[in-house]
Amino acid sequence: MSKVYGVHVVELNEGITPEFFERFVIEEFLPALPLNRTPGVRASILKGERGARIGEYLFLFEFDSIEVRNRYFPEQFRISQELADLIAPLRRVSTVWDQATRRVKTDYIVMATNPEVAALPGSDATSA
C-alpha cells in the first residue's frame, strides 16, 4: 500500500500579496478543510525557505494509500460525491482560494523509502 502525495504548485494571482495569502491559508483555508472527516488524508501549505523556490508555495496532500486518494478523487479531474458533500459548506473559502491562486497539480506515488536505521552500539543517536 503506497502513500500518495498530491503536490500542488501554488502561484499567487496578480494583486494578491504574500501577506494576504499567508493570513488567509493559516486563519481561514486550512482550518476550514474537513480533514477530521477524511481519514487517511493530511494537508499542509509549504513555503520555500531555501533553494530555487524561496518564498513560493506548495499545497501538499498526503494520502495513506492510492485507495484513500481514489476514495476522494476517483479520477484525475473529478471528486467523489462524498468529498463534494464534505466541501459544499466551504463555498466562500473555496472562491477566495480560486480567485487568489492558480495551481499545477501532480500526484506522486511513494516508490521507496529509506529504512529506519538503528543506532550503532556506543553511538549517540540523538546528536546530528
Q: Which residues pair with 104 in a beta bridge?
A: 9
Evaluate whether 80 touches 72 at the Cβ level (below 8 Å). yes
Average pLDDT over residues 87-99: 94
Q: What is the pTM of this model?
A: 0.83
From residue 5, alpha-carbon distances to 9, 58, 91 in Å are 12, 12, 25
Q: Which residues pair with 4 in a beta bridge?
A: 63, 109
How many alpha carbons lie under 13 Å from residue 16 in its C-beta half-sphere? 18
**Strand ranges (E), the chain:** 4-12, 41-47, 57-63, 101-109
Percent of residues, the chain, with pLDDT higher than 90: 85
CATH number for domain 4-109, candidates 3.30.70.100, 3.30.470.20, 2.40.240.10, 3.30.70.1450: 3.30.70.100
Q: Is the dihedral of CA 47, 61, 5, 118 positive or negative?
A: positive
Q: What residue spans define the domains of the chain?
A: 4-109
User: Could you tell me the pLDDT band of residue 124, with boundaries at 50, 70 and 90?
Assistant: low
Written as one letter, the residue type at 68 is V
pLDDT digits (tens, 9 = 90+) for 14-68: 999 999 999 999 999 999 999 999 999 999 999 999 999 999 999 999 999 999 9
**What single DSSP character describes residue 105?**
E
Q: What is the pLDDT of residue 123?
A: 60
